[in-house]
Amino acid sequence: MDAIVFPPVLLGPLAPTLVVLAAGAVVLALDLVPRALPREVPAMVALAGMVGALLATLLRWSTPARAFREMVVLDNFALFFNVVICYAGALIVLLSMDYLRRTGAESSEYWALVLFATAGMMLLAAAGDLIVVFLALELMSLSLYVLAGLFKRELASGEAAMKYFLLGAFASSFLLYGIALVYGATGTTNLDRIAAAVAARPREPLFVIGLGLTMVGFGFKISSVPFHMWVPDVYQGAPTSVTALIATGSKAGAFAALIRVLTVTLRGVPPDWALLLWAMAAVTMTVGNVVALAQTNLKRMLAYSSIAHVGYMLVGLVAGGVGGASAVLFYLLTYTFTTAGAFGVITLCERARGEAVETADYTGLARQHPVLAAALGIFLLSLIGIPPLAGFVGKFYVFGAAVRAGYFWLAVIGVLNSAAAAYYYLRIIVYMYMREPEGTATTYASSFAGGLALAIALLAIVVLGVIPAPFVDLAQAAVAPLLR
Amino acid sequence: MTALPLVSIVTFLPGIAGLALLLVPRTSASVLRAVSLAVAVLTFVLSLPIYFGFDPEIIGYQFEESRRWMPTFGVSYHVGIDGISLLLVLLTTFLMPLALASAWGSIEDRVKEFVATMLILETGMLGVFVSLDLFLFYVFWEAMLIPMYFVIGVWGGPNRIYAAVKFVLYTMVGSMLMLVAILAVFYQYGAATGRYTFDMPLLVQYVIAPGRAQDLMFLAFALAFAIKVPLFPFHTWLPDAHVEAPTAGSVILAGVLLKMGTYGFLRFCLPLFPDASLRFGPLVFTLAVIGIIYGAWVSTVQPDMKKLVAYSSVSHLGFVMLGIFTLNQQGLVGGLIQMVNHGLSTGALFLMVGMIYERRHSRLIADFGGLWQVIPAFSALFLVVTLSSLGLPGLNGFVGEFLILLGAFQRNPWMAALATTGIIFAAVYMLWMYQRVVFGEVTRDANRRLADLTTREWAVLVPVLALIVWIGVYPSAFTGKTEATIEALISQVQSKTGPSR
């Protein structure tokens, strides 16, 4: 029997993830300190963890590294996603600070769980092996299940956590079963070696079924139709800061793994899978937008709109190639800032009975809080895709990739969806700007950290909209290693 | 060629001033109005050198500026002026100060936001006309929607929200499909030449193979522009938007925004898709004639003056479309000059209807009568504007319509004959409206104490009237600037579609 050879322990490629994990451990350890620390300390540690990870990521740009027998691949692709995820994490930490204090849900576990979830997302982006994909996905998901139920006294929050957990566990088991079948078909869980095995026998039924089942798991995590049923309830019930994290970071992580698995394993295969993705993209954006039209709850509306945006991103995945994949990356970057910002505004709006989540709560907001209304307005316009904001460039890039690859009709479906979506986004603007406030007013929960987060998001979507070229170049550099 | 980037300055000055105004703390309304008016006037003054420095003999673009913007996408910042855009740029900078001045007394709520929105809107409109890069054009085209949406939706009439949302959604459906077509043109050019660019001067040199692909691309562009024009049957957003918009918004909507559609046909549809333009020409021709007659008939029966003017726009823009799709010199020049005419005449009509609405808070024709005895100066100017709108020789409207019909007769005499009835109906609805409002006895007591034009209103109306007469008497001052460009456009279309036509 061969002796087990341990791979050398190279922590370098894990550095960004480790920074976040370490911050999580510090937050937990701080709880053990007998003397009460100022309340801000855990939040500051969490923020430091996110920023530290961001810096660690930026330092490693263009120095690809692999570790643990290629289980962890820290190439530009992973680093790009790390940037997106760290920004999402940092924004969420900033938004949560005063939000948690106000809602009385402040605890060290919150910060630790946010950090662990973020670590899971980052690891997901760097996973070069299906086992790591699964582990990272679980690290992320389990943390998020708990976070969704943070408001222990609220029924909706409990419902959100329960629903998210049950359906999420179900999806994870699909993923795991799929991984098992892929392993059975190819004899390996390493993505590169799977690619080699698949190139030899592209239509091996076991592999096709296995990959199909993993697609179910990923479809759930990125919330594409028909695996989206959990989204509205979880987004609505979970604390808004957690919703923002689920909508941005977890989606980015899941997309990272999905793109890597699909592009790497199917590298040498004719693009049969595009048809499946085509249908998924068309159905996802249409269902998301059509159902969003009927929503009166802002969080729920943004939930359906996020489903629609997943549809747009899938369009880029259908298009494939450097253009398509980098379009998805760029879209995720713009989407993260926009969506985090939109949810961020909700965390800052307060009413007597709690959060301002109904559309009607925003009636006449422009009169009372013009800056807040303008911020939400700009985020919504970016979600519609109005130039010169980031959302427009994202859509332009994605649909451009589709047209280039010859998917005209998918692009047409996409743009018609965008036009329909304008209706429900504009409706919020109608409420804020074109109706007079009535009844009790929505108040602005003053928060320096929250304001800072919104300012960063606003700046980002304007910069990404006006000078997108450098970021597009980064996205293209990021997908290049996958498509060698 | 001056070293100063004049076109960029003119384009961005209002928008930057508008954004700056948004950031300053709330100050008194009259200061804001004065500052915004000063900016708009300054923009107009700065645009004058473009007009006078424009050399009508040069074919191609003048005052060009080109900078790298997004090389990865093949996008550059490329602006310039030619005979097609020159008059429209001037029309925009000319109408904006008048629109702002007209709002001086009528917009009281959120004045800061209003003037800032109007100035940002001006940048959007100018950007559409000066862009020589398809991407840049699209950015302005879409961005311009939002300020107009706010102008209608925030400062409009009772049904403003419905009108504003309808306006945006209608326009957006068309422009989104155009986006796909823009991308298709971009990639087709790139695949054929190996150079991916949105630069219009390069793209128009490329001959897109005739056939289904070109037809679809043409239709996508044409739909976006036809909605904006609006060409029958895509006009239903227009009456709503016009009726609900505040006077200043209506002036800009009729004066400039509608021209963006017809401009798009001239600038993009004809040179990029010449075969499809010829193929669908008869269809557009027919729709234009239907629009002319339909708009005129519907105008006739409107009880509301503003709605009457709105429907008359459908009719007048039908003439412009007719002129463009004659694809001959007279028709195209006539169409172009008619765009300016319509901007002036209809803009003035909206201004005057707005003035009377401010006094009486009614626009119903039935509420008026005998105004001649109460406010003679207003009535006299209103007569000139009315006659200009119905195309009386000696005023501006006649020149454009005459040239268009001249061109149309060469292409299809029957259609032209039908279109001519539109002029007759125009005389019917305009004069009948004028007669009911101005002549006769004073029927309502409320009208007896109406005040005549104020100095500010004189100042708003006199420049428009001067131009109306100037174009009517000496049109070649304006048509002369455009003829070389139009000739080049026609020969380009002909060379692309081959000798068979």
Measured N-to-C along each axis, helices B111-130 and B6-23 cross at an angle, to the nearest 10 degrees, of 160
pLDDT exceeds cutoff 60 at B499? no
Nearest C-alpha of chain A: how many angstroms from B153? 6
**Quick one: which of A221, A51, A200, A55 has its CA closest to A133?**
A221
Asked if residue A214 belongs to a domain, the reply is no
Nearest residue on chain B to A431, alpha-carbon basis = B161
Nearest C-alpha of chain A: how many angstroms from B21? 14
Residues B310-321 pLDDT 10s: 999 999 999 999
Q: Confirm if B34 and B42 have CB atoms less than 8 A apart.
A: no
Q: What confidence score (pLDDT) does residue A301 get?
A: 93
B164 touches A at CB < 8 Å: yes
B160 touches A at CB < 8 Å: yes
**Quick one: which of B405, B312, B409, B398 has its CA closest to B353?**
B312
Rounded CA separation B199/B74 (Å) = 8
DSSP B212-223: HHHHHHHHHHHH
Nearest C-alpha of chain A: how many angstroms from B75? 10
Nearest C-alpha of chain B: how many angstroms from A274? 20
B16 touches A at CB < 8 Å: no
Q: What is the mean pLDDT of residues A50-74?
A: 88
Q: Which residue has the tokens 């008059």?
A: B87
Q: Strand order in A354-355's β-sheet?
A: A354-355, A349-351, A443-444
The beta-carbon neighbor of B154 closest among A387, A422, A433 is A433
Nearest residue on chain B to A464, alpha-carbon basis = B70
Asked if residue A351 belongs to a domain, the reply is yes
The beta-carbon neighbor of B179 closest among A415, A468, A472 is A415
A416 contacts B173? CB cut-off 8 A: yes
pLDDT exceeds cutoff 60 at B394? yes
Percent of chain A with pLDDT over 90: 56
Asked if residue A207 belongs to a domain, the reply is no
Q: Confirm if A181 and A173 have CB atoms less than 8 A apart.
A: no
Residue A375: domain span? 272-484
Q: Confirm if A103 and A239 have CB atoms less than 8 A apart.
A: yes
Residues B173-226 pLDDT 10s: 888 889 999 999 898 888 888 888 888 888 888 888 888 888 899 999 999 999
The 3-state DSSP class for residue B14 equals helix
Those residues with Cβ within 8 angstroms of residue A132's Cβ, 6 or more apart along the chain or in another chain:
A71, A72, A123, A126
Q: Which residue has the tokens 């032209």?
A: B416
* Count of structural domains within chain A: 1
Nearest residue on chain A to B170, alpha-carbon basis = A419
Asked if residue A415 belongs to a domain, the reply is yes
Entry field: residues in chain A: 484
The model's confidence at residue B472, banded by pLDDT at 50, 70 and 90, is confident
pLDDT exceeds cutoff 50 at B500? no
The model's confidence at residue B1, banded by pLDDT at 50, 70 and 90, is very low
Asked if residue A377 belongs to a domain, the reply is yes
Average pLDDT over chain B, rounded to an integer: 88
pLDDT exceeds cutoff 70 at B498? no
Pairing of strands A72-74, A65-67: antiparallel
Cβ burial of B283 (10 Å; 0-12, 13-18, 19+) is: exposed
Rounded CA separation A296/A278 (Å) = 30
pLDDT exceeds cutoff 70 at A1? no
- Calculate the alpha carbon distances from B325 to A342, A463, B224, B225, B319 in Å: 46, 41, 17, 14, 10
Chain A interface disruption, residue of B23, B150, B183, most A CBs within 10 A: B183
B71 contacts A426? CB cut-off 8 A: no
Q: What confidence score (pLDDT) does residue B453 get?
A: 84
Rounded CA separation A447/A464 (Å) = 26
Q: What confidence score (pLDDT) does residue B493 get?
A: 83
Residues B426-448 pLDDT 10s: 888 999 999 888 888 888 887 78
Q: Confirm if A124 and A82 have CB atoms less than 8 A apart.
A: no
Bridge partners (DSSP) of residue B75 are B70
Q: What is the DSSP letter of B55?
A: -
pLDDT exceeds cutoff 70 at B501? no
Asked if residue A114 belongs to a domain, the reply is no
Nearest residue on chain A to B167, alpha-carbon basis = A423
Asked if residue A320 belongs to a domain, the reply is yes
Residues B63-81 pLDDT 10s: 888 888 888 788 889 998 8
The 3-state DSSP class for residue B60 equals coil
Q: Which chain A residues are closer than 8 Å to B184 by Cβ? A: 403, 408
ipTM of this model?
A: 0.90
Q: Confirm if B278 and B501 have CB atoms less than 8 A apart.
A: yes
Amino acid identity, position B121: L
Other CB atoms within 10 A of residue A226 CB: 12
Q: Which chain A residues are closer than 8 Å to B165 by Cβ? A: 423, 426-427, 430
Exposed e or buried b for every residue in A455-482, given b needs 16+ CB within 10 A?
Answer: ebbbebbbebbeebeebbebbbbbbeeb
Nearest C-alpha of chain B: how many angstroms from A393? 10
A396 contacts B186? CB cut-off 8 A: no
Q: What confidence score (pLDDT) does residue A242 get?
A: 93
Q: What is the mean pLDDT of residues B47-61?
A: 85
Q: Confirm if B359 and B446 have CB atoms less than 8 A apart.
A: no
Q: Give, for A184, the enclosing helix (H) or strand (E).
A: helix A155-186
A415 contacts B150? CB cut-off 8 A: no
Residues A320-352 pLDDT 10s: 888 889 999 999 999 999 999 999 999 888 777
**Quick one: which of B381, B398, B380 has its CA closest to B389?**
B398
Q: Which pTM was predicted?
A: 0.92
Residues A432-466 pLDDT 10s: 888 887 777 778 877 888 999 999 999 999 999 99
B489: tokens are: 């456009």
Q: What is the mean pLDDT of residues B352-380?
A: 86
Cβ burial of B161 (10 Å; 0-12, 13-18, 19+) is: buried
Q: Give, for B68, the enclosing helix (H) or strand (E).
A: strand B62-70
The beta-carbon neighbor of B187 closest among A388, A404, A427 is A404
A386 contacts B142? CB cut-off 8 A: yes
B179 touches A at CB < 8 Å: yes
Chain B interface disruption, residue of A293, A315, A359, A386, most B CBs within 10 A: A386
The beta-carbon neighbor of B139 closest among A388, A408, A423 is A388
Q: Which residue has the higher pLDDT, A81 or B30?
A: A81
pLDDT exceeds cutoff 90 at B497? no
Percent of chain B with pLDDT over 90: 25
Q: Which residue has the tokens 């911050």?
A: A23
A403 contacts B180? CB cut-off 8 A: yes
Asked if residue A371 belongs to a domain, the reply is yes
Average pLDDT over chain A, rounded to an integer: 89
The 3-state DSSP class for residue B372 equals helix
- Calculate the alpha carbon distances from B47 to A153, A348, B12 in Å: 65, 45, 12
